[in-house]
Amino acid sequence: MQFDVETDVVVVGGGGGGLVAALTAREAGAEVAILEKSERLGGNTALSSGSIPGAGTRFQVAAGIADGWERLAEDIHRRTRGTAPRDLVEVLARESAPLVEWLVDAVGLPLDLMADLKKVGHSVPRLHAPVGRQGQTLVTGLERAAQAAGVLISPGNPVSGLLTVPGDDGPRVVGVSVGAGDDAEGYTVGARCVILAANGFGANRALLRRYIPEIAEAPYFGHLGNAGEAIGWAADLGAHLVNMGAYQGHASIAQPHGALLSWAAVERGGLLVNREGRRFVDETLGYSGCASAVLAQPGGQGFVVYDGETHDYLAEKAEDYRDLMHFGGVMRADDAATLAVRAGLDPAALEETLADYAEAASGARPDPFGRSAFGQAPLRPPLCLVRVTAGLFHTQGGVDVDAAGRVRCANGAVIPNLYAVGGVAVGVSGAHGGAGYCSANGLLAALGLGRLAGRDAARRLS
Ligand SMILES: Cc1cc2nc3c(=O)[nH]c(=O)nc-3n(C[C@H](O)[C@H](O)[C@H](O)COP(=O)(O)OP(=O)(O)OC[C@H]3O[C@@H](n4cnc5c(N)ncnc54)[C@H](O)[C@@H]3O)c2cc1C
């Protein structure tokens, strides 16, 4: 087959997974090109808070936190009730600490261990994030490193499909076609390996309705480029699709402000109630696991109630929270009845809910929703409340991959020369909608698989 241009490795998508895959393959000697649909790199990675799990990093050791890959793998299996692919969980858990240390040492990213917070699904503090908690910091540093290493980066070049030739056991991928937009002709790129790093289908309502109806109508907070076409190309070649109903949602998006209320408000002892002033969910399912329950409440609304101590903590630690206060998103009162009246809830119902909750938190009786961790609850006045709704951040199911990120068919055979990372690949968030998501599974699957796929692709070229 003739191509307009040729290279060793084509990476489709210039978010975190694509940048890491490209940089890793380039470090190992391959000629690499990134083709990105949008006019700038970044995708969801740039919109994220940039938290990455690393189990057993030297930063944890310095902070006196005992951790290791086995513990991270156990945490993921517990959260997903064993429904995440075991081989992928193991290889990503093993890769997590070297990944974080490589990002700091080789890429030069300013990552800090968030040593005072365990975060949803994790049994010890192990998330590392850029100062300022901005995913854009990851993208800027990775893009700079990729450019310096000689990766060809082409924004504004949407890939429109995979090119294949027949092989002994089915089609073999030999490149991609690129539709360069309204003003330009399409062209083809020949490649010895193609790495799909185009994320999932969060921006594609039709696919959401098909695979994840429970969150399909929720507001989407991710990148609009993530329309799921790469999953479709791989499926057309026989790729096995796994856990397509998995996603990361968020159950505490302040309404109508649209700002994120940190889940620390709940983890530190807060609770969720509905318009009637009643609880409706075990809040320890986490911000992702509670999302569908919030959407199912009257008006798709919830109300996070917490106390003044947590309010002071958030006001000190979280800039978003200070903004929310500034724009009037935080209601405050000395007692439950006054707070309820301010928020338009039934005062008697909220008083009763808080009294029952205090009993469960103090261990006087079992929690009717099964909550077992209550932070600093029972709550002490003054009380605070934020009205919230839930949204979708990104999808977590996708094509089956082996431990090197190679795309697999249902019979376990790999599709020659084709890799998938990040949201294109099945992640490690299991088969239970939003409930299997451990904080930072998204970047673990994107950057971790990016390292593994980039390394394997370069190795196979030599
Ligand atoms: C508000 C928010 C906060 C988050 N915080 C965290 C966090 O702290 N930690 C964490 O682990 N996860 C977090 N996530 C999830 C995380 O952002 C994603 O899981 C991760 O960024 C996925 O990386 P990726 O490389 O797979 O995709 P992306 O970073 O989305 O990159 C995919 C790129 O592919 C491009 N693309 C798509 N189709 C094509 C095509 N046909 N041709 C060429 N290019 C294409 C897109 O334009 C996009 O730029 C958050 C998400 C959101 C929305």
CATH of the domain at 256: 3.90.700.10
Reduce the secondary structure of the chain to three states and give it as a string.
CCCCEEEEEEEECCCHHHHHHHHHHHHCCCCEEEECCCCCCCHHHHHCCCCEECCCCHHHHHCCCCCCHHHHHHHHHHHHCCCCCHHHHHHHHHHHHHHHHHHHHCCCCCEEECCCCCCCCCCCCCEEEECCCCHHHHHHHHHHHHHHHCCEEECCCCEEEEEEEEECCEEEEEEEEECCCCCCCCEEEEEEEEEECCCCCCCCHHHHHHHCHHHCCCCECCCCCCCCHHHHHHHHCCECEECCCCEEEEEEEECCCCCECCCHHHHCCCEEECCCCCECCCHHHHHHHCHHHHHCCHHHCEEEEEEHHHHHHHHHHCHHHHHHHHCCCCEEECCHHHHHHHHCCCHHHHHHHHHHHHHHHCCCCCCCCCCCCCCCCCCCCCEEEEEEEEEEEEECCEECECCCCEEEECCCCEEEEEEECHHHECCCCCCCCCCCCCCCHHHHHHHHHHHHHHHHHHHHHC
Question: What's the pLDDT tens digit per position in 385-419?
Answer: 999 999 999 999 999 999 999 999 999 999 999 99
Domain at 79, CATH number: 3.50.50.60
How would DSSP label each residue in 235-267? Answer: HHTTBPEE-TT-EEEEEEEETTT-PBPPTHHHH
Question: Which residues span the domain enclosing 21?
Answer: 5-202+396-461
The CB of 450 under 6 Å from ligand 1? The reply is: no
Non-local (6+) Cβ contacts of 328 within 8 A are none
β 127-130/111-113 pair status: antiparallel
Question: What's the pLDDT tens digit per position in 149-198?
Answer: 999 999 999 999 999 999 988 999 999 999 966 656 899 999 999 999 99
Position 172 in a domain: yes
Instruction: Determine which helix (DSSP H) or strand (DSSP E) holds 10, and give its type and residue range.
Output: strand 5-12
Q: Which atom of ligand 1 sits closest to the CA of residue 230?
A: 41
323-331: average pLDDT: 94
Residues 184 and 323 in one domain: no
Residues 88 and 166 in one domain: yes
Position 215 in a domain: no
Residue 431 has pLDDT above 90, yes or no: yes
Residue 135 has pLDDT above 90, yes or no: yes
Which residue, among 164, 192, 163, 196, has the nearest Cα to 34 in the 3D structure? 196
Kindly give the distance from the C-alpha atom of residue 19 to the centroid of ligand 1, in angstroms, as a whole number. Answer: 11
The CB of 201 under 6 Å from ligand 1? The reply is: no
Kindly give the distance from the C-alpha atom of residue 289 to the centroid of ligand 1, in angstroms, as a whole number. Answer: 20
Domain end, chosen from 334, 367, 392, is at 392
The CB of 440 under 6 Å from ligand 1? The reply is: yes
The CB of 13 under 6 Å from ligand 1? The reply is: yes
**Average pLDDT across the chain, whole number:** 95
The CB of 12 under 6 Å from ligand 1? The reply is: yes
Q: Which residue has the tokens 């970047």?
A: 443
Length of the chain: 462
Q: Per the structure block, which two tokens stand in for 365? A: 């009786």
In the prediction, which pLDDT does 131 show? 86
Residues 387 and 455 in one domain: no
The CB of 292 under 6 Å from ligand 1? The reply is: no
- Tell the residue nearest (CA) to atom 31 of ligand 1: 15
Domain count along the chain: 2
Count of Cβ atoms closer than 10 Å to residue 338 Cβ: 16
Under the banding of pLDDT at 50, 70 and 90, the label for residue 318 is confident
106-115: average pLDDT: 95
Position 238 in a domain: no
Residues 58 and 173 in one domain: yes
In the prediction, which pLDDT does 183 show? 59
Kindly give the distance from the C-alpha atom of residue 299 to the centroid of ligand 1, in angstroms, as a whole number. Answer: 29
125-133: average pLDDT: 92
- Tell the residue nearest (CA) to atom 3 of ligand 1: 48
Residues 55 and 193 in one domain: yes
Residues 23 and 124 in one domain: yes
- Tell the residue nearest (CA) to atom 50 of ligand 1: 48
In the prediction, which pLDDT does 119 show? 85
Position 229 in a domain: no
The CB of 249 under 6 Å from ligand 1? The reply is: no
307-331: average pLDDT: 92
Position 142 in a domain: yes
Kindly give the distance from the C-alpha atom of residue 200 to the centroid of ligand 1, in angstroms, as a whole number. Answer: 8
Is the Cα torsion angle 90, 94, 95, 99 positive or negative in sign? positive
- Rounded to an integer, what distance in angstroms lies between the CA atom of residue 225 and that of residue 200? 9
82-88: average pLDDT: 97
The CB of 223 under 6 Å from ligand 1? The reply is: yes
The CB of 18 under 6 Å from ligand 1? The reply is: yes
Position 268 in a domain: yes
Residue 148 has pLDDT above 80, yes or no: yes
Domain end, chosen from 341, 357, 392, is at 392
Which residue, among 151, 145, 155, has the nearest Cα to 13 in the 3D structure? 155
The 8-class DSSP code of residue 377 comes to P
Residues 114 and 65 in one domain: yes
In the prediction, which pLDDT does 140 show? 98
Kindly give the distance from the C-alpha atom of residue 223 to the centroid of ligand 1, in angstroms, as a whole number. Answer: 7
Position 217 in a domain: no
- Tell the residue nearest (CA) to atom 48 of ligand 1: 43
Mapped onto helix, strand or coil, the DSSP state of residue 293 is helix
The CB of 228 under 6 Å from ligand 1? The reply is: no
Residues 161 and 18 in one domain: yes
Kindly give the distance from the C-alpha atom of residue 177 to the centroid of ligand 1, in angstroms, as a whole number. Answer: 22
- Tell the residue nearest (CA) to atom 51 of ligand 1: 48
Residues 197 and 326 in one domain: no
Kindly give the distance from the C-alpha atom of residue 235 to the centroid of ligand 1, in angstroms, as a whole number. Answer: 20
Residue 202 has pLDDT above 80, yes or no: yes
Q: Per the structure block, which two tokens stand in for 89? A: 């969980």
Kindly give the distance from the C-alpha atom of residue 35 to the centroid of ligand 1, in angstroms, as a whole number. Answer: 15
The CB of 265 under 6 Å from ligand 1? The reply is: no
Contact 385, 303 (CB under 8 A): yes
Position 224 in a domain: no
Residues 27 and 174 in one domain: yes
Question: What's the pLDDT tens digit per position in 226-253?
Answer: 999 999 999 999 999 999 999 999 999 9
Strand-pair partners of 53: 127
Q: Per the structure block, which two tokens stand in for 267? A: 């983890």
Residue 320 has pLDDT above 90, yes or no: no
104-114: average pLDDT: 96
The CB of 143 under 6 Å from ligand 1? The reply is: no
Residues 426 and 284 in one domain: no
Q: Per the structure block, which two tokens stand in for 257? A: 């402000």
Please report, as a single letter, which amino acid is at residue 195.
I
Q: Classify residue 442 by burial, with Cβ atoms within 10 Å: 0-12, 13-18, 19+.
A: buried
Residue 271 has pLDDT above 70, yes or no: yes
In the prediction, which pLDDT does 180 show? 60
Q: Which residue has the tokens 């040492």?
A: 105
Q: Which residue has the tokens 């490149």?
A: 175
The CB of 354 under 6 Å from ligand 1? The reply is: no
Residues 382 and 406 in one domain: no
Q: Per mean pLDDT, which range of 21-30, 306-315, 317-326, 370-379 is the poorest?
A: 317-326
Residue 3 has pLDDT above 90, yes or no: yes
Contact 47, 223 (CB under 8 A): yes
Residue 462 has pLDDT above 80, yes or no: no
Domain end, chosen from 363, 392, 421, is at 392
Q: Which atom of ligand 1 sits closest to the CA of residue 421?
A: 26
The CB of 137 under 6 Å from ligand 1? The reply is: no
Please report, as a single letter, which amino acid is at residue 432.
H
- Tell the residue nearest (CA) to atom 1 of ligand 1: 48
